[in-house]
């Protein structure tokens, strides 16, 4: 028993240290400012909308669907590693203690999101429904119970079925979680209790099925590797993660962009940089995500100063991160074999960033039509982009 506690404690401390090492680069002063403005603007828009929200608005169903979707994704955090398939075999009879601690941490780390989402929805419930305070807070208690059951069920399902057809299990839990929360908010406590009982029976059946089965180390290892890879990819947007290697996709539907680049020796680096950006998931999806966020903000936030600040901050984040990623790559490139001037790559990266930030500015302008002074938004994006390119240090091209 002590050995299992020791193994979990050491892994948990290492995991927390790994997360803290990269998260300190994520939550910087710039991001904090953007976050404060974004939350403030969203809160203001939300409060203004509540004043005119119709009484017929289906708040119970909306809250139930959103919270239910969050609850259904309850993948366990096991911290299982690949060597465990060999070295933990002699301790397999004691693994239930290890998994108990893992599921406790999973619950603590995952309950925050659905709880916060429900608390944000409380003003909506108070505005358009006649629920009492006791009923509203009972809903929060139900969310906590549902999260605990969803985590236990997903773990037992993965254990017993090696993760096969996990989407069927999630779909079933999604429907039951939505119906449970909706009936509770609608005042049908007994019906909601019946749905909770169904989840309890389902969990007991899955747990019974896992009895006597060997630990599915391979599945849990893959699950843990994918989870940490998602975290490293997120952290890589803010700082370099040395052991991270991005995936590559063809994206043939964007081949027409290459035809705009003249077939000249002087444009070789520009062609290479365009292909690198478009085919590398990390680079391409970074631009897509930040552009989408910028478009949503300028489309729905009708406070001009806030939308300009957020759009400018996202333009800065896009420019600085892509510039660093494209100029500091340590991977071998074919252009290293040819006598091309080193300045050509820096010029090519600058040209690419200008092109895609102009595109980002046009998208933001199109989404902000109808907002006051909407033409200032693309100007802010372009000015921030140029200032970032001008005053930020160029990492040496390898």
Residues 343-360: pLDDT tens digits? Answer: 788 888 999 999 999 999
Lowest mean pLDDT among 99-103, 139-143, 205-209, 268-272: 268-272
Instruction: Mark 170-194 as b/e (b = at least 16 C-beta within 10 Å).
Output: bebbbebbbbbbbbbbbeeeeebee
Q: What is the pLDDT of residues 370-389, one digit of tens each?
A: 777 778 889 999 999 999 88
| Alpha carbon distance 350, 344 (integer Å) | 10
Q: Which residue has the tokens 């429900």?
A: 118
pLDDT at residue 245 is higher than 80:
no
270, containing H or E segment: helix 268-279
Lowest mean pLDDT among 22-31, 178-187, 276-285, 362-371: 22-31
**Percent of the chain predicted with pLDDT > 90:** 40
User: Which pLDDT score is estimated for 398?
Assistant: 42
| Alpha carbon distance 79, 56 (integer Å) | 46
Handedness of CA 138, 140, 143, 149 (dihedral sign): negative
Q: What is the mean pLDDT of residues 177-194?
A: 92
Lowest mean pLDDT among 82-86, 195-199, 246-250: 246-250
Are the C-beta atoms of residues 39 and 308 closer than 8 Å to each other? no
Lowest mean pLDDT among 215-224, 291-300, 333-342: 333-342
Lowest mean pLDDT among 192-206, 325-339, 355-369: 325-339
Are the C-beta atoms of residues 242 and 321 closer than 8 Å to each other? no
User: Which pLDDT score is estimated for 71?
Assistant: 95
Residue 85: band (very low, low, confident or very high) from pLDDT cuts 50, 70, 90: confident
Q: Which residue has the tokens 């710039």?
A: 30
Structure tokens at 328: 């500091």
User: Which pLDDT score is estimated for 397?
Assistant: 41
| Alpha carbon distance 370, 237 (integer Å) | 32
- Judged by DSSP in three states, 378 sits in helix
pLDDT at residue 29 is higher than 60:
no
Lowest mean pLDDT among 45-54, 99-108, 310-319, 336-345: 336-345
Q: In 10 A of CB 83, how many CB atoms?
A: 10
120, containing H or E segment: helix 112-128
pLDDT at residue 170 is higher than 80:
yes
Average model confidence (pLDDT) across the chain: 86
Q: What is the mean pLDDT of residues 41-54?
A: 83
User: Which pLDDT score is estimated for 87?
Assistant: 85
Residue 94: band (very low, low, confident or very high) from pLDDT cuts 50, 70, 90: confident
DSSP 335-348: GGGS---HHHHHHH
Q: What is the mean pLDDT of residues 224-248?
A: 76
Under 8 Å CB-to-CB from 271, ≥6 apart: which residues? 258, 261
Cα dihedral angle (51, 57, 61, 63), rounded to 10 degrees? -10
Q: Which pTM does this prediction carry?
A: 0.74
Q: In 10 A of CB 258, how many CB atoms?
A: 13
User: Which pLDDT score is estimated for 89?
Assistant: 83
């Amino acid at each position: 028993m002590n050995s299992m506690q020791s193994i979990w404690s050491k892994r948990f401390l290492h995991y927390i240290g790994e997360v803290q090492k990269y998260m300190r680069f994520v939550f910087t002063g710039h991001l904090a400012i953007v976050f404060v403005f974004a939350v403030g603007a969203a809160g203001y828009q939300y409060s203004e909308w509540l004043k005119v929200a119709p009484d017929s608005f289906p708040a119970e169903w909306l809250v139930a669907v959103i919270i239910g979707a969050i609850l259904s994704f309850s993948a366990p955090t096991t911290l299982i590693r690949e060597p465990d398939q060999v070295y933990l075999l002699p301790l397999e009879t004691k693994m239930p203690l290890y998994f108990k601690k893992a599921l406790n941490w999973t619950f603590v780390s995952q309950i925050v999101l659905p709880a916060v989402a429900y608390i944000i929805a409380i003003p909506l419930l108070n505005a358009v429904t006649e629920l009492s305070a006791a009923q509203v807070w009972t809903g929060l208690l139900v969310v906590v119970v549902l999260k605990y059951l969803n985590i236990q069920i997903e773990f037992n399902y993965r254990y017993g079925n090696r993760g096969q057809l996990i989407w069927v299990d999630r779909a079933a839990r999604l429907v039951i979680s939505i119906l449970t929360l909706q009936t509770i908010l609608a005042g049908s406590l007994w019906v909601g209790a019946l749905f909770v009982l169904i989840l309890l029976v389902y969990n007991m059946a899955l747990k019974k099925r896992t009895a006597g089965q060997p630990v599915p180390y391979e599945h849990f290892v893959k699950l843990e590797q994918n989870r940490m890879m998602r975290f490293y990819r997120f952290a890589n947007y803010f700082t370099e993660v040395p052991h991270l290697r991005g995936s590559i996709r063809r994206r043939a539907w964007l081949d027409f962009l290459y035809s705009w680049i003249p077939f000249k020796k002087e444009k070789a680096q520009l062609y290479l940089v365009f292909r690198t950006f478009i085919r590398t998931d990390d680079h391409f999806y970074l631009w897509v995500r930040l552009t989408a966020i910028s478009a949503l903000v300028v489309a729905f936030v009708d406070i001009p100063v806030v939308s300009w600040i957020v759009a400018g901050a996202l333009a800065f984040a896009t420019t600085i991160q892509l510039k660093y990623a494209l100029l500091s790559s340590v991977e071998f490139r074919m252009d290293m074999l040819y006598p091309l001037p080193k300045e050509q790559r820096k010029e090519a990266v600058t040209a690419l960033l200008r092109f895609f930030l102009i595109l980002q500015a046009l998208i933001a302008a199109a989404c902000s039509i109808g907002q006051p002074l909407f033409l200032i938004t693309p100007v802010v994006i372009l000015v921030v982009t140029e200032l970032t390119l001008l005053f930020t240090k160029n990492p040496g091209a390898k």
